[in-house]
C-alpha cells in the first residue's frame, strides 16, 4: 500500500514540496505519494486530523500554519522547539504527532555541503530576528563558528534573541543589536530578513564583506535578489540564494520519513533550470 504524505498551506499552488518529494521518491525507489492540501484559514487542525485519519504518514506545513503546527504537535524535536514554528509532521501509528523544523538544517546543509563552505571558526552575521533566523541558530551552533552577530532593524529583538539562545551557544560568541552595531568583516552573511521580498537591502556598513566572504540570502527568485546583487556589486566572492536550502530541508524531511538521504544536486539543478 502506497504511503501518503502532503503539504498543507494557504495559498498552496506555489509549493515546491510535491515536485521535490516525488523526485526524491523516484530516485530512491520509495513507494509513496505526495500531494498538496489547501488548508482553510480557520481549519488547519481539521485538515491535519482528516489527513491523519485517512492514513497519512507525514506532512509539511507552510505559511500561514507553522505557528499553529507548533501548538498542535504532541511532541517537538529540540530544533523544532527552538524554532518556535514547525514545518514538518511525522504522523505516528499511535495517533500522536511529532513536530520538527528542518529549515535551519537545510541552510547549513546547503552552505557546508553544496557550497563547500566550512563554518568552523568563522564570523557569521545573521540579518533579521524573526522565525527564519531563530530556526537557524541551533543548526548553526553545531557547525562551531567562532562568533555570531544577529542584526535587526529593531535592535531590541536581536538582543533578546541572542540572550535567549546564549545558554545553547557554548564557547561561541553570540550577540545581537541594530545594523549600526555591526562591526568588522564577516566570513558569512546570511540574510534572514524580509528585505528581499520588498526588493530592499539591509543597511550594511562598508567593510562588512569582501571577496573572501559568502553572502547567502534565504529568499530566492527567478532573478538574483537585491541582497545578492548588492553583495556582487560590493565584490563579494561567493553568493547564493535560498533555493538549495528549500531542497535540502525537503531532503531532510524525506530522510526522517523514509530513512534514505536523496542526492539533491540533480534536483537543485532541475529547479534552477526551470
Cα distance between residue 145 and residue 13, in whole Å: 38
Q: Does 66 participate in catalysis according to the annotation?
A: yes
Judge whether 231 is annotated as a binding position. no
Answer yes or no: is 154 a known binding residue: yes
16 is in an annotated binding site: no
Contact 154, 148 (CB under 8 A): no
Residue 152 is assigned to a ligand binding site? yes
Q: Is 52 annotated as a binding residue?
A: no
Q: Is 218 annotated as a binding residue?
A: yes
Look up cell 544577529; give the residue. Answer: 150
CA atoms within 13 A on the CB side of 124: 28
C-alpha cell at 77: 524535536
Question: Of the listed 53, 66, 173, 221, which one is catalytic?
Answer: 66
Is 216 known to sit in a ligand binding site?
no
Q: Is there a binding annotation on residue 156?
A: yes
Residue 129 counted as an annotated binding residue: yes
E strand residue ranges, the chain: 3-9, 32-38, 58-61, 75-76, 88-91, 97-100, 123-127, 147-151, 173-177, 188-191, 214-217, 238-240
Is residue 62 marked as binding? yes
Task: Assign 3-class secondary structure to 13-70.
Answer: CCCCHHHHHHHHHHHHCCCEEEEEEECCCCCHHHHHHHHHHCCCCEEEECCCCHHHHH
8-state DSSP, 5: E
List, as residue ranges, the binding site for NADP(+). 128-132, 152-157, 218, 242
List, as residue ranges, the binding site for shikimate. 62, 87, 103, 220, 249
By annotation, the residues acting in catalysis are 66
List, as residue ranges, the binding site. 62, 87, 103, 128-132, 152-157, 218, 220, 242, 249
Amino acid at each position: 500500500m502506497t504511503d501518503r504524505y502532503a503539504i498543507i498551506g494557504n495559498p498552496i499552488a506555489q509549493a515546491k514540496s510535491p515536485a521535490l518529494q516525488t523526485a526524491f521518491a523516484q530516485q530512491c525507489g520509495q513507494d509513496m505519494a505526495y500531494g498538496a492540501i489547501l488548508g482553510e484559514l480557520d481549519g488547519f487542525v481539521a485538515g491535519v486530523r482528516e489527513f491523519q485519519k485517512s492514513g497519512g504518514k507525514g506532512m509539511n506545513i507552510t505559511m500561514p500554519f507553522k505557528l499553529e503546527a507548533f501548538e498542535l504537535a504532541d511532541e517537538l524535536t529540540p530544533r523544532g522547539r527552538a524554532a518556535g514554528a514547525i514545518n514538518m509532521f511525522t504522523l505516528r501509528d499511535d495517533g500522536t504527532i511529532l513536530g520538527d523544523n528542518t529549515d535551519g538544517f537545510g541552510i547549513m546543509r546547503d552552505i557546508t555541503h553544496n557550497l563547500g563552505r566550512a563554518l568552523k571558526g568563522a564570523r557569521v552575521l545573521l540579518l533579521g530576528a524573526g522565525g527564519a533566523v531563530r530556526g537557524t541558530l541551533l543548526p548553526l551552533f553545531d557547525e562551531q563558528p567562532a562568533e555570531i552577530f544577529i542584526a535587526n532593524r529593531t535592535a531590541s529583538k536581536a538582543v533578546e534573541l541572542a540572550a535567549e539562545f546564549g545558554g545553547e551557544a557554548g564557547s561561541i560568541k553570540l550577540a545581537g543589536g541594530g545594523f549600526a552595531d555591526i562591526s568588522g568583516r564577516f566570513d558569512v552573511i546570511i540574510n534572514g530578513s524580509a528585505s528581499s521580498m520588498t526588493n530592499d537591502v539591509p543597511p550594511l556598513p562598508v567593510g562588512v564583506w569582501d571577496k573572501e566572504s559568502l553572502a547567502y540570502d534565504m529568499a530566492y527568485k527567478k532573478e538574483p535578489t537585491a541582497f545578492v546583487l548588492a553583495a556582487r556589486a560590493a565584490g563579494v566572492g561567493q553568493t547564493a540564494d535560498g533555493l538549495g536550502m528549500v531542497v535540502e530541508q525537503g531532503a531532510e524531511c524525506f530522510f526522517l520519513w523514509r530513512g534514505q538521504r536523496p542526492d539533491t544536486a540533480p534536483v537543485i539543478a532541475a529547479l534552477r533550470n526551470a
